[in-house]
Structure 1
Amino acid sequence: MHPPVPANRSERVHDVDAAIRQTDSDAALARLSAVRKGYLNDRFISSLVPRAQLQPLRPPLINTGTYVRSEAIDRLVEQWLELSKPEGQLCQIVSLGAGSDTRFWRLMDGPWKEQIGAYFELDFPDVTLKKAMAIRNPRSGLSTTLGHSELDLGGQALHSSRYHLLPCDLRNPPADIFPGLFKEYLSPALPTLLLFECVLVYMSPEASSTLIQWFVDFFSPSTHTPLPGTLGCTVYEMFGLEDAFGRVMMNNLRARNVSLPGAKPYPSLESLPARFLRHGFTSAKALTLRNIRSNYIEPSELERTSSLEMLDEVEELNLVLEHYAITWAMKASSAATISPWIEWGLRPVKQA
């Protein structure tokens, strides 16, 4: 016999999820701030932030971190799309825990739009409902990019010819929800990039492992798809939180009712790519944001962003950036399909 469920259990669960959803709002406000200060170009973010014109700017430390994160992930995504051109194939991008991300609109606004076969965004139903409403708002201009679109699942889902907004709880077994959610939209035959931006760290290690494995299985050879598309994965999240600075970060998050069950198995930078190698990925690598800022961004661009505002907390910035990393991994379906994907990844730049 199970013990009685506390009367306020559902409220506690709701509160935890609300705190997680709030982290997306924080990220959207940080991006809006970085755009307004000139770090980034993004003409779409204000359409996804309520009362965007009234939001206060964020400190230089947050603006700088947001810039480094965005610059690195944008580079990985664009390189993935570029590598698919010689193959003559369109790409699929699946953004899990997409929240208020604007990447689809930014890609469709640039030279990469012809390479996108399908773009999926998955998140909590509350999040997708709000995003669908923002997209359909004629004043936002977001629906113009989509063309004809249709709402589904009571307004929580939205479909157009290339864009699909899908509601789900990624902590649930993907085998139970994904087949019906993706329907015929996701093809195992196309090169596909998964994006996890501060998502897996909020999940249990078991749930995140099951999630990744579902995609590995979906893009494995089968009788229906003997030669599946190459699978790529990009993860942005915090790690190594067992030192003094990490414990402070964890305590600050706990004060906001946010826990990070997915961080514990990854105490070091080396442990991050190991996650994907265990799932059979062909190659994997990880870099801290501090390393990316120092060695993977053009000196002229660093000079430009450094001139935007005075940054007094350089030591604190380095500590923060040292606890965030970007991991990328690639899984080829066979030895014959490894090229050109083995070239995918961030490359250091020549320093002045």
Structure 2
Amino acid sequence: MASIPNLRTLRTGRRGHALRGGRSSRGAQYGDDDGDVRSVEEGRDAIIQQTDHDASSTRMSTVSLGYLDDPFAKAFLAPGEQITKRYPIIHRGTYVRTEAIDKLVIRFLDTRPEQRKQIVSLGAGSDTRFFRLMTRRSGTPQSTVAYHELDFEANANQKRNILRQSTELSDCVKEAEQNGSTYHLHAIDLRALTNKSPPTIPGLDSTLPTLLLSECCLCYLPPDAAASVLQYFTMNLPGSLALILYEPIRPFDAFGKTMVTNLASRGIHLQTLKRYSSLQAQRQRLLLAGLSDGQGGRDVYQLYGDEKWVSQSERERIEKLEWLDEVEEWKLLASHYCVAWGWRGEVFSEAWQGLQGSRTAGEDQDEPG
């Protein structure tokens, strides 16, 4: 599908490009009349909705080779569908991105375990994080959690159908609810949250410490609209609040320019990419959004090489799973995606203490010429 280049499916260099998109509600308005605008938006929305199948297929490929432990991924493959094997750099990128976000999420849940918490996943699609969190084994008690997923109506309905059909998934939800956690799947277009009278998200608890997740999601909105979506939550959730972002960066170097050109040729525009083009721009974005107690950002290549995020023993395990002869491609691709996080509230300061994400000397090259 023609959409955002993602570590899960983008191939570079001699093998060409395969593009894959994010999973939420976004689209630019243009056209000669209202009918043209709706037609353009509907077409773009349909492309974005359809890309979620690729996400689940890529995750299954990564899981099947042992990079990740995710027994729920197979539930999102169609009956009889064969696993499509991805390239090693895609597997490695999927692993790093998943592990880094999981580390931030788990630290949040394991901090002050007596305190109920809330997670809101924007454009969740076929993501399995809730189910994996509910079945993980840990020596430390974790908080009960109210878990919300927001996505297009078509994607949300598809996930509901899969939940009904999968005994493993539905049993996981039931067991989680018996243990005090709750799972909410909302069919909400994120653009609606920017309206003067935005919809109420059923079950959203304004009293709970809340973590927002946006994986290749907000980057499809115009910058002001993306900021308005964040403002919806910062205004309606006055307490402890944090956001984890996973997005592409560095559009101004040779690789970044090629990435942007390839997307534009397919009618896809990552509207926040140039405004939040660097790790420092992402940190500043989080600060301006009101997450003033701390901000961090690292690209995927940095995360993979940092013992705090991926241990030496894990790197050795990963590198034994399959041969990766695209070392330069891996470095180039991984350095154009980042995980950024920002927060307000003591629970997040405590949870994420020691995870370095401040500016490094090497980031000077990120400044556009």
TM range (shorter): 0.7 to 0.9
1:50–1:108 Cα change, 3 Å: same
SS of 2:208's partner is coil
Q: Deviation per CA, 1:214-259, whole angstroms, max 9, x where unpaired? A: 1111222xxxxxxx3x111100010111221012222333344432
Change (3 A) 1:306 1:339: closer
In structure 2, C-alpha distance between the alignment counterparts of 1:165 and 1:317, rounded to whole Å: 35
Paired residues, number:
320
Q: Counterpart in 2 of 1:301?
A: 314
Once residues 340 and 68 of structure 1 are traced to their aligned partners in structure 2, the CA distance between those partners, rounded to angstroms, is: 23
Q: Residues 246 and 23 from structure 1, CA distance in 2 versus in 1: closer, same or farther, beyond 3 angstroms?
A: farther
Q: Does residue 182 of structure 2 align to residue 172 of structure 1?
A: no
Match of 1:147 among 166, 171, 174: 174
Q: Which structure 1 residue ranges, 5 or more long, are not aligned?
A: 150-159, 221-227
* 1:110 pairs with 2:136: yes
Task: For residue 178 of structure 1, report the CA deviation from its aligned partner.
Answer: 5.5
The answer to whether the 8 Å contact 1:19/1:256 transfers is: no
Deviation per CA, 1:46-97: give whole Å up to 9, x if none.
1113247413110111111101101101111001111132xx2111110011
Q: Distance in 1 between matches of 2:117 and 2:37?
A: 42
Shift of 1:188: 1.7
Q: Are the aligned partners of 1:128 and 1:167 in contact in 2 as well (CA < 8 Å)?
A: yes
1:239 is the counterpart of 2:267? no
> C-alpha separation between the residues in 2 aligned to 1:253 and 1:173?
26
1:269 paired with 2:279, answer yes
Q: Equivalent of 2:330, from 308, 314, 317?
A: 317
Could you tell me which runs of 5 or more consecutive residues in structure 2 were left unpaired when the two chains were aligned: 1-30, 359-369
Q: TM-score, normalised by structure 1?
A: 0.83
Aligned pairs for 1:1-352 (under 5 A) are: 5=33, 9-51=37-79, 53-85=81-113, 88-111=114-137, 115-137=143-165, 139-147=166-174, 162-174=182-194, 179-182=199-202, 185-220=203-238, 228=239, 230-281=240-291, 282-295=293-306, 296-332=309-345, 340-341=350-351, 343=353, 345=355
Query: In structure 1, the residue corresponding to 2:190 is in which secondary structure?
Result: coil
Mapped partners of 1:338, 1:96: distance in 2: 19
Contact 1:76 1:346 in 2 (8 A): no
Q: CA RMSD in A?
A: 2.6
TM-score, normalised to structure 2, is 0.80
The whole-number CA distance in structure 2 between the counterparts of 1:51 and 1:62 is: 24
Shift of 1:27: 2.2
Letter in 2 for 1:67: Y
Give the equivalent residue in structure 2 for 1:155: none
- Cα distance, 1:345 vs. partner? 3.9
